[in-house]
Amino acid sequence: MRKIIASLFIALDGVVEAPDQWHFPYFDDDMGAAVGAALGTTDTLLFGRRTYESFAGAWPEREAAGGEDAVFAKQLGDMRKIVLSRSPLSFSWRNSEQLSGDFVAAVTALKNEPGGTIGLSGSVSVVRQLLSAGLLDELHLLVHPIAVRTGMRLFDEGEPSIPLRLVSSEAFGSGVLNLVYAPAESAGTGGYEEARTHLPQDGE
């Protein structure tokens, strides 16, 4: 079965909205390598409508311009791109299509197809749906050392908790943390009585 991996730029206070307004000062070789590694085995990208429109409005032009980011732009263009939207869409960016049918059933069928990793970049509403449905295999968070203090956060209020386990972590020289999480079976049990046994004891 194919893996679905979501990658997000996120501020220290959980904000994921409009990263173009706050994350570029932290984009260095380490982050570029992390972004490249996340796309290494990806052959399909899954988008929400707004994120897709943002990508489609920029990357084809960058590929055509032939600048420093043209190779990366071509890589995105060559991938299969699947957009989740309730409204009918038309596409000008090559290899783009719309996800049809029930979300869980359609994504499950997509995971069962042969191929490489299915990736997401942004598309917070889609990430939330995948987490709630138990369909997301890994959540890659590039945590920036800034509190943006305004904008959409990754996790909204009022929903059941989502237990995760840390798969790997790395600190960049910029102060960005590269954290990889996967779903956990449960958040565990225990209260203060169990926790206090781990506090320093007299004489230690």
Q: How far is the CA of 38 from the CAs of 34, 106, 133, 154, in angstroms?
A: 6, 23, 22, 19
- Looking at residue 201, what DSSP letter applies? P
Taking alpha carbons only, the member of 107, 101, 167, 100 closest to residue 133 is 107
Q: What is the pLDDT of residue 36?
A: 86
Task: Determine how many CB atoms are found less than 10 A away from the CB of residue 4.
Answer: 22
pLDDT along the chain (204 residues), means of 10: 96 95 96 88 93 95 95 94 91 94 93 95 92 95 97 86 94 97 84 86 67
Tokens of 100: 């049809």
pLDDT at 204: 55
Q: Specify the CATH superfamily of domain 4-198.
A: Dihydrofolate Reductase, subunit A (3.40.430.10)
